[in-house]
Amino acid sequence: MTGDYEIIIIGGGPAGLTAALYVAMSRRRALLLEKALLGGQIVNADRIENFPGFPSGVGGMELAELMQKQAGRFGLESSYTEVTGLAAEDAGYLVIAEDARISARTVIVAGGSEHQKLNVPGEAEFVGKGVSYCATCDANFFRDRTVAMVGGGNAAVTEALYLTRFASRVYLVHRRGELRATRVLQERAFAEPKIVPVLDTVVEQVRGDSAVRELLLHNVRTGTDSPLKVDGVFVAIGFRPNTGYLRGFLDLDPQGQVMTGARLDTNRPGVFAAGDIRSNSGRQAVIAAGDGAAAALFAEEYLRGA
């Protein structure tokens, strides 16, 4: 991680790793910065059934390793560090990371997003002890147990249905009187005897000892509080883009996602955005990968002055 780079990619999920593959193949001096695990969110996916080229599906971790290996074959340079700031400088941009300040002519932001938290007492304390943000990853731990799924959109209802394969009962806790999920999904959920809708209700607290034992619920219509005995709680209430450090530097939409043009360009010439981090992304691995490839090609054109 020395000297100046032509392209810096921030984030090593499907978008960042695919961008890295393309820039490595074009022999650009490029660096990929990742704060956690190369692979991004797909490492949490038990199985990915809709990534082209894998007719029998592929494990999320396996796909991440394959992407990493492929980019590595062409000499990908990467470093584990969190980017905390981005600033303009004469010849391009200064990428400010935890432990370094690196110059780059172009930047591809591909930091994806993270699960929205409930932000209630007990939630953080019980992560991994009954609080989960990934049904496909953790459902297996709740065989014949009682769980709650918090959320009312497509993700929450899909995951609640998935949980019924393992859990004996799934409370579907949603803050409104109606779910937001598509009608088809709602019909499936309401026809499933293991799913018990708990509407107009928010979680106030997660309680337990060595593991989750109950939720304190608040009914927003009646104003009453009541405990609900559960062994686990899954949360699917949306995503928060990893754009905190970009605020004020790049144009973001009201959800905090990066606004991009048709060439995945941002309001800063030479800064591109790819994958889940950008506004109106499809939130799919293959879309993120496609974005990564496109952003790399547009960055390449920018460097050539085309």
Ligand X SMILES: Cc1cc2nc3c(=O)[nH]c(=O)nc-3n(C[C@H](O)[C@H](O)[C@H](O)COP(=O)(O)OP(=O)(O)OC[C@H]3O[C@@H](n4cnc5c(N)ncnc54)[C@H](O)[C@@H]3O)c2cc1C
Known active-site residue 99: no
Alpha-carbon dihedral sign for residues 44, 49, 53, 59: positive
* 278 vs 135: CA distance, rounded Å: 25
Smaller CB distance to ligand X: residue 217 or 289?
Answer: 289
Known active-site residue 134: yes
Choice among 138, 265, 276, 291 that is catalytic = 138
**Minimum CB–partner distance for residue 120 and ligand X (Å):** 21
Choice among 46, 99, 137, 200 that is catalytic = 137
Smaller CB distance to ligand X: residue 110 or 230?
Answer: 110
**Minimum CB–partner distance for residue 62 and ligand X (Å):** 13
Asked if 36 interacts with ligand X (CB under 6 A), we say: yes
Asked if 20 interacts with ligand X (CB under 6 A), we say: no
- Nearest CA-CA partner of 286 in 63, 38, 10, 7: 63
* 40 vs 15: CA distance, rounded Å: 9
Q: Which two tokens stand for residue 4?
A: 């100046």
- Residues 171 to 200 in contact with ligand X, rule: CB under 6 A: none
* 155 vs 150: CA distance, rounded Å: 10
Asked if 66 interacts with ligand X (CB under 6 A), we say: no
Q: Measured at the alpha carbon of residue 144, what is the angle toward residues 238 and 196, in degrees to the nearest 5?
A: 50
**Minimum CB–partner distance for residue 39 and ligand X (Å):** 7
- Nearest CA-CA partner of 83 in 288, 291, 277, 292: 277
Residues that are catalytic: 134, 137-138
- Interacting residues with ligand X (CB under 6 A): 10-16, 33-36, 40-42, 44-45, 48, 50, 82-83, 110-113, 134, 136-137, 242, 245, 275-277, 283-286, 288
